[in-house]
Amino acid sequence: MIEILTIFFSFFSLLIFSNFPLNYFFIKKYQYILKLTYTEYLLLNLIINFNILLIFSFFPINLKIVFFLILIISLSFIIIFKNDFWKLFKENLPLNFFFLLVFYALSSVIVKNGYLEWDGLSHWLHKATVYFQGGGYSDLAGLPFDYYPHLGSYVWAFFWKNSYLQAEYFGRLFFIFIFLLSIISLYSKISNKFLVLEKLIIIFILVYLSTNIFLFGGYQEYFIFFIFFCFSNFFKKFFLEDKISNYYPELILISISNLILWIKQEGFFYFIILNIIFLIHAKRTILNKFVFLIFSLILISILIYIKNIYFGSLRFNHDIINPETFRNLDLYYLFFKIFIISKYFFISFIKYPIWLVILLSITVLKFNSKFFKNNKFIITYLILIFGFIYLIFLNTTEDVAWLAPLTLNRIVFAVSGFLIFVNIELFNLIKEK
């Protein structure tokens, strides 16, 4: 019984946490420039808070004090605008119950099993434990895979420390929350020609096809999924039409892309891909793009500087140029590896069927609507991300036939967050027909 109550406590704590620092009704009341939906404000608040936690992660800071300060400030705004929140809650009652019910269902599985998968135990738990025990970034040195990015572990420790029972698995429930919130935020983008029940069915389908309990066992893929989702969401909102003259949208994208540098090793290359998409496709002035590029270079420089101080260098599992790079000059060997990688690509699409729906949606939209006229960045993303994944496995010194079935499917799933919105476009197109 106490664990059931703790799940609900975790849900409402995460919801309150997501209402800080930008309060939807306060900003709406004073007509600030950003016109976002309520769920988009929750996404943006999470991005801001994760950046704040990233800064705190380099120092031995009391996690409980930070947590309660955020909750007190957020609750104060909720109390001030309690009538507005109550009205919003009633207007979206079915969606709210859906959110709570699915969160509870997924969380119950995690809490009941309680165990961690291989990467969770080998890589990420060690860092989370250091932060849970009050350590700082310098205390990560000497841990297994200490040079791996740490943000996912820090946020895990943050909610672990601030859960009622302080059991490790309650710290991982934030992965479920950010995943569900991402997809639920698409609800407002579904055509009003659908009934409420039909909209909920669409959201349920996307959640169902994107859920893999295995990945909640300490892996970071749902965090990466969330970052990709937020980037594409705000990119579409602000940068496909040149209507905004200030730099707020750039700051949002920079804040989002900064996080991906500190979650997983491949985040360094994801960061570059996201920057390329902005520079090519954002309908902004040369000056805007130059400022964005400068800030991006500063973020990479900070990453390299910090890694050099604590771990001697910015390290990856394998050197970018290694003996395998030159072995690939043998065309027979190269094509054999491409065949193996392609095989496990298709297996990954089957294992994570959300990709089958995404590819179907892209195909239908390409030939049956004008959608791609203003969304060419999707093709650029597919080329860059698939090209990058192939390069990873072509250049690894590990046996591809052994490595690909273990890791490729998780990478393929994580990057799907960027494109999941196209499924909504397909449903809307079908309804219009």
Q: What is the pLDDT of residues 40-72, one digit of tens each?
A: 999 999 999 999 999 999 998 899 999 999 999
The amino acid present at 63, given as its one-letter code, is L
Residue 186: pLDDT over 80: yes
* pLDDT given at position 380: 95
- The average pLDDT across 134-141 equals 91
Mean pLDDT, the chain, as a whole number? 91
Burial category of 382 from C-beta neighbours within 10 Å (exposed 0-12, middle 13-18, buried 19 and up): middle
* pLDDT given at position 421: 95
- Per-residue pLDDT band at 33 (split at 50, 70, 90): low
* pLDDT given at position 431: 81
- The average pLDDT across 2-16 equals 91
* pLDDT given at position 326: 83
* Dihedral of the alpha carbons of 227, 211, 266, 381, in degrees to the nearest 10: -70
* pLDDT given at position 293: 95
Residue 18: pLDDT over 90: yes
Residue 120: pLDDT over 80: yes
- The average pLDDT across 78-93 equals 93
More confident residue, 3 or 7: 7
Burial category of 114 from C-beta neighbours within 10 Å (exposed 0-12, middle 13-18, buried 19 and up): middle
Of 101-105, 166-170, 195-199, 385-389, the least confident: 166-170
Residue 321: pLDDT over 80: no
Burial category of 42 from C-beta neighbours within 10 Å (exposed 0-12, middle 13-18, buried 19 and up): buried
- Per-residue pLDDT band at 31 (split at 50, 70, 90): low
Distances (CA, A) of 46 to 138, 181, 252, 253, 368: 25, 10, 11, 13, 36
Tokens of 24: 């939807």
- Per-residue pLDDT band at 410 (split at 50, 70, 90): very high
- Per-residue pLDDT band at 210 (split at 50, 70, 90): very high
Taking the model in full, what pTM does it have? 0.95
Residue 32: pLDDT over 70: no
Residue 253: pLDDT over 80: yes
* pLDDT given at position 278: 96
- The average pLDDT across 76-91 equals 93
